[in-house]
Homo-oligomer: A and B are copies of this chain.
């Protein structure tokens, strides 16, 4: 098929492409399943994860979550209605609003993070320790490559 002749010019290791795509769907589904019992979508799980060690402004959240600002407003609205986060005015710039986890939000964020870690560890449990270490190095490399591409385009 015409596709393969094109692809063969471009591709290094075909298994890597399909592998990374399929694994990304596996991990996303896992995150959805971890969030679901708590009525959290993947993006809400991600919000809680980001807020565990930061109190960003709405604009910073938009960058961190790769979301438009209206999207962040709605996301934080719904989390605030559930008592997971609070909006705190920034004194140094009165246009800005910082988002904090509440105590309840902290607890939920930790529970979800621990459960996700358990599930992913279960996925990698049958890998030899050597492969897990290798995978940790490779994923770190891919993240750096992604950041580099984003900054250079």
**Chain B residues in 8 Å Cβ range of A139:** 15-16, 18-20, 22-23
Across the interface, do A129 and B23 meet the contact criterion of CB distance under 8 Å? no
Q: Which of A20, A143, A146 has the most CB of B within 10 A?
A: A20
The SS class assigned to the A binding surface is: helix
A27 at the interface (CB under 8 A from B): yes
Across the interface, do A132 and B28 meet the contact criterion of CB distance under 8 Å? no
CB-contacts of A20-62 with B (<8 A): 20-31, 46
**Chain B residues in 8 Å Cβ range of A143:** 19, 22-23, 26
Of the listed stretches A73-81, A90-98, A114-122, chain B binds A114-122
Q: How many copies of this chain does the complex contain?
A: 2
A124 at the interface (CB under 8 A from B): yes
Partner of A114, one of B10, B118, B135, B142: B10
Partner of A136, one of B15, B110, B131, B146: B15
Partner of A145, one of B7, B126, B136: B126
**Chain B residues in 8 Å Cβ range of A127:** 138, 141
* Chain A window 133-153, contacts with chain B (Cβ cutoff 8 Å), 1 for yes, 0 for no: 111111111110110010000
Q: How far is the CB of A107 from chain B (nearest CB, A)?
A: 10
Q: How far is the CB of A36 from chain B (nearest CB, A)?
A: 12
Interchain residue pairs with CB less than 8 A apart (9)? A16-B124, A17-B117, A17-B120, A18-B139, A20-B120, A20-B123, A23-B143, A123-B145, A127-B141
